[in-house]
Amino acid sequence: MLKKQAFYFLIIGALASIVNFILVFIMVHLDFAKPLVANFFAFLIAFNVSYFGHRFLTFSTTTQSHAKAGSQFFINALIGLIINETTCYVLLHILHIQYLVALFITMGLVAVYTFVVSKFFIFKA
């Protein structure tokens, strides 16, 4: 079961990350927003990919209602966003890492956090 969940988590997480990454890239390159602002708006869209993918594939055996799991997942995602934005800020403005590299590093760290919390607290079977 854990292997199947890890596989789906990677696939869904990759899809959500790709959505996030592409949206940030587009918004920054079209001068619509600075990287941190673009990352926030991209997060709001990628959240939906992540929640519904994990709900129906990764953690399909959950007994949690949509209302409960959705609200918990959103709170967890907001915490992930805070970790994401804080890490991105440090990498961009203190360590002066190029924004796409910083985004890639940040998204990997947040993915690990999200899996652990989702598996053991939000979508428990």
Which amino acid is it at 41? F
Query: What are the tens digits of pLDDT across the range 56-115?
Result: 998 888 778 878 888 888 899 889 889 988 999 999 999 999 988 998 899 889 888 888
> How confident is residue 15, by pLDDT bands cut at 50, 70 and 90?
very high
Q: What is the pLDDT of residue 105?
A: 92
Return the domain boundaries, the chain.
Answer: 2-122
In three state form, how does the secondary structure of 75-92 look?
HHHHHHHHHHHHHHHHHH
User: What sign does the dihedral 61-8-46-116 (CA atoms) show?
Assistant: positive
How many Cβ atoms are within 10 Å of 34's Cβ, its own excluded? 12
Burial of residue 65 (number of CB atoms within 10 Å: 0-12, 13-18, 19+): exposed
Q: What pTM was estimated for this model as a whole? A: 0.74
